[in-house]
């Protein structure tokens, strides 16, 4: 059974509940979440749940009907996200684990780690102890292989995954392995499951050769009940009568599992099909089916591999597959996990933000979309009072990738303009990338100018270039020149750079006046925006948990509500009840679910309230009540805080 505790339960009441359950031969597992604490009680239930429900401190009791208790969706409604040294598996991410079937030498695993890391893998796999069908096949390097694997993982910032075939290997593996893998042959080796679960580390549990989904989940239950909270299910194909592939990859298991369990699900297409050319299409199919990630075999020289060379990808094949995954992931509402190379040290700026940086004398690096002179670059200089180094990239998604990969500590994204409205692409990006959060906000005035090459005039212009927002914000001015052709660019600074490079007097750019000297252009006319009260609101983003605001006064939240009368009204009422101002509400369609919408809400503290403690308590209280409405009535179906931060008004 699942026992939901009251929010302000006393320690003595909690201990009394624990003692009562243990006296009735139930194994007790406490799970403390941000919003509520639950106790999972598993074992042969010989008591009436109502006896538990009347105990002081108990909010409600939820019986679990499934034979797998802790792995069931009844035990935990929210999807589990497994955190392995900063790499997260589950949620909205596609996490790719890659490496050779077996560690063959130090040189081989070091080269493998380099190639897969450069292509986008975020974890390194490799077998040190190899259970082989033939006793004469390569059995692995054992403890020496585990050490090589650890060295390669550390060199490239990759957590390591390796299979454990016997509890006798635990002493040799304990200090080197981040994630233990239970192979298909050992899925029902219950004594091994108990001992590995007791280690408390994350475990990848592969489906047995002929195991049913329920048998697979019962094996996961052994791990969970033995001590680990982090189990990752891995579909690797099952044995059928078909001989065309090594196994039959059961992708139908993914949506079925999603309804039955909260555990993350990954897929091993290498062992499923057994032929390298079939691995990429099945990898894409797995992601389309809803998998949280992949574990793929990649070898520098597969034709020389000592184990499973036929199914191992060449590094170039893996790189192409990762590019294809990058294209597919947004289509199914996912984001590909990125490897982060953290910079060391910390530095505190005048904005009251504590942030990571490359050292006490090195400025923070902030990425933005566009080139020199872009409005986002101006926002960076204003927000950080000239103390940040600007990193230009090609588009908004690359800003996020730069932050996730550690190329920049933060990023600057436009989110709304007072004339042209919301930048919907960035609203969608914030929802998609769960490892990114908002850590600050700044508003700047936008003043557009018409820029041309030296010698050009108004009469020589036939086409004007700018970002779509820039064109929209100068609509009144442009209406006076109906013959001009409007051409969209990725950024206003990109438009200025393009016009400068072409040296064509018939072209003009709408951009900031500050871009003119940078690109050696002349300003024909300034202040051409339709409304002089033209402002753009930018948000500062960072990798989750890496930047903390001293005194947050704003929060951004996304949530969905049930399709029933009054659902949105009831959800928004929680902000008022908690003394929060609702300053922004935006809806966006949910991909793949016609006529269903995701709501974005910005809330702030009333004037005169600035305590970070008060802010945090009020916002978290509203969030807790939202989640309670999810569990109790289903009015709110999903909710997540995008950021708790400080707004810096610069206009």
- Active-site positions read 536, 538
| Bridge partners (DSSP) listed for residue 389 | 365
Determine whether 303 is exposed, middle or buried from the number of CB atoms within 10 Å of its CB (0-12, 13-18, 19+): exposed
Q: Percent helix, strand, coil in the chain (nearest 5)? A: 35, 30, 40
8, with CB counted inside 10 A (0-12, 13-18, 19+), is exposed
The burial of 526, by beta-carbon neighbours within 10 Å (0-12 exposed, 13-18 middle, 19 or more buried), is given as: middle
The answer to whether the CB of 618 falls within 8 A of the CB of 612 is: no
Residues in the chain: 651
Single out the residue of 552, 554, 532 nearest to residue 651, CA to CA: 532
User: What letter would DSSP give residue 313?
Assistant: B
Query: What's the token pair of residue 622?
Result: 């509203």
Instruction: Find tokens 């006529």 and name the residue.
Output: 595
Instruction: Give strand ranges (E) for 434-484.
Output: 436-445, 448-452, 463-466
Q: What are phi and psi of 94, to 5 degrees?
A: -115, 110
Residue 330 to residue 400: CA distance in whole angstroms: 14
Phi-psi region of 647 (alpha: psi -120 to 50; beta: other; left: phi over 0): beta
Between CA 110 and CA 24 the distance in angstroms is 52
Q: DSSP character for 457? A: -
Largest CA distance in the chain: 91
Is the separation of the CB atoms in 461 and 452 below 8 Å?
yes
CA pair distance 269, 246, nearest whole angstrom: 10
Asked if 629 and 571 count as a contact pair (C-beta separation under 8 A), the reply is yes
Helical ranges in 420-552 per DSSP H? 424-432, 468-473, 475-478, 492-502, 515-519
Neighbours of 534 (CB within 10 A): 18
How would DSSP label each residue in 517-549?
A: HHHT-EEEEE--SS-S--EEEEEEEEETTS-EE
d(CA 175, CA 412): 40
368 close to 376: Cβ distance less than 8 angstroms: yes
Instruction: Give the CA angle between residues 645, 650, 651 to the nearest 5°.
Output: 140
- 82 to each of 85, 232, 262, 491, 492, how far by Cα in Å? 10, 8, 11, 38, 41
Q: What is the DSSP letter of 337?
A: -
């Amino acid at each position: 059974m699942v026992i939901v505790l009251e929010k302000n339960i006393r320690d003595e009441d909690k201990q009394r509940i624990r003692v009562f359950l243990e006296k009735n031969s139930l194994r007790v597992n406490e799970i403390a979440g941000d919003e509520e604490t639950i106790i999972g009680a598993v074992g042969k239930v010989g008591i009436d749940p109502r006896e538990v429900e009347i105990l002081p401190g108990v909010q409600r009791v939820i019986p679990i009907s499934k034979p797998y208790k802790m792995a069931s969706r009844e035990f935990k409604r929210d999807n589990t996200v497994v955190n392995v040294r900063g790499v997260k598996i589950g949620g909205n991410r596609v996490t790719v684990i890659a490496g050779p079937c077996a560690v063959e030498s130090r040189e081989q695993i070091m080269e493998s780690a380099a190639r897969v890391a450069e292509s986008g893998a975020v974890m390194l796999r490799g077998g040190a102890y190899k259970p082989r069908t033939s006793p004469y096949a390569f059995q692995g390097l054992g403890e020496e292989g585990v050490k090589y694997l650890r060295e390669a993982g550390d060199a490239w910032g990759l957590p390591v995954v390796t299979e454990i075939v016997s509890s006798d290997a635990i002493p040799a593996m304990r200090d080197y392995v981040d994630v233990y893998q239970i192979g298909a042959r050992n899925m029902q080796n219950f004594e091994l499951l108990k001992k590995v679960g007791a280690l408390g580390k994350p475990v990848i549990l592969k489906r047995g050769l002929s195991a049913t989904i329920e048998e697979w989940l019962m094996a996961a239950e052994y791990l969970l009940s033995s001590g680990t909270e982090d189990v990752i299910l891995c579909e690797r194909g099952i044995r059928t009568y078909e001989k065309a592939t090594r196994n039959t990859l059961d992708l139908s298991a993914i949506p079925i599992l999603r309804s039955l369990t909260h555990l993350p699900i990954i897929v091993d297409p290498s062992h499923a099909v057994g032929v390298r050319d079939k691995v990429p299409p099945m990898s894409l199919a797995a992601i389309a089916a809803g998998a949280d990630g992949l574990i793929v075999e990649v070898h520098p020289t597969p034709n020389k591999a000592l184990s499973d060379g036929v199914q191992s990808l060449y590094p170039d094949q893996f790189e192409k597959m990762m590019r294809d995954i990058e294209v597919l992931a947004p289509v199914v509402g996912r984001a590909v996990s990125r490897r982060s190379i953290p910079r060391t040290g910390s530095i505190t700026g005048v904005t009251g933000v504590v942030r990571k940086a490359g050292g006490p004398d090195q400025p923070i690096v902030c990425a933005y979309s566009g080139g020199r002179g872009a409005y986002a670059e101006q926002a960076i200089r204003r927000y950080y009072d000239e103390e940040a180094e600007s990193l230009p990239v090609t588009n908004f998604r690359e800003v996020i990738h730069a932050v996730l990969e550690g190329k920049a500590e933060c990023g600057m994204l436009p989110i709304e303009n007072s004339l042209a409205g919301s930048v919907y692409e960035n609203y969608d990006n914030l929802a998609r990338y769960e490892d990114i959060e908002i850590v600050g906000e700044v508003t700047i005035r936008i003043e557009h100018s018409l820029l041309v090459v030296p010698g050009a005039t108004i009469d020589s212009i036939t086409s004007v270039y700018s970002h779509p927002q820039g064109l929209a914000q100068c609509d009144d001015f442009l209406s006076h020149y109906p013959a001009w052709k409007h051409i969209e660019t990725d950024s206003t600074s990109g438009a200025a750079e393009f016009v400068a490079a072409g040296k064509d007097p018939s072209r003009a750019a709408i951009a900031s006046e500050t871009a003119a000297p940078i690109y050696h252009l002349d300003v024909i006319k300034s202040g051409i925006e339709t409304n002089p009260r033209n402002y753009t609101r930018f948000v500062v983003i960072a990798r989750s948990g890496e930047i903390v605001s001293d005194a947050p006064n704003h929060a951004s939240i996304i949530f969905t509500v049930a399709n029933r009368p009054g659902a949105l009204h009831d959800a928004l009422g929680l902000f008022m009840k908690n003394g929060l101002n609702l300053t922004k509400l935006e809806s966006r369609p949910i991909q793949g679910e016609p006529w269903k919408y995701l709501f974005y809400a910005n809330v702030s503290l009333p004037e005169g309230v600035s305590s970070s403690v008060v802010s945090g308590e009020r916002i978290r209280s509203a969030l807790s009540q939202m989640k309670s409405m999810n569990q109790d009535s289903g009015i709110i179906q999903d909710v997540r805080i995008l950021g708790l931060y400080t707004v810096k008004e610069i206009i």
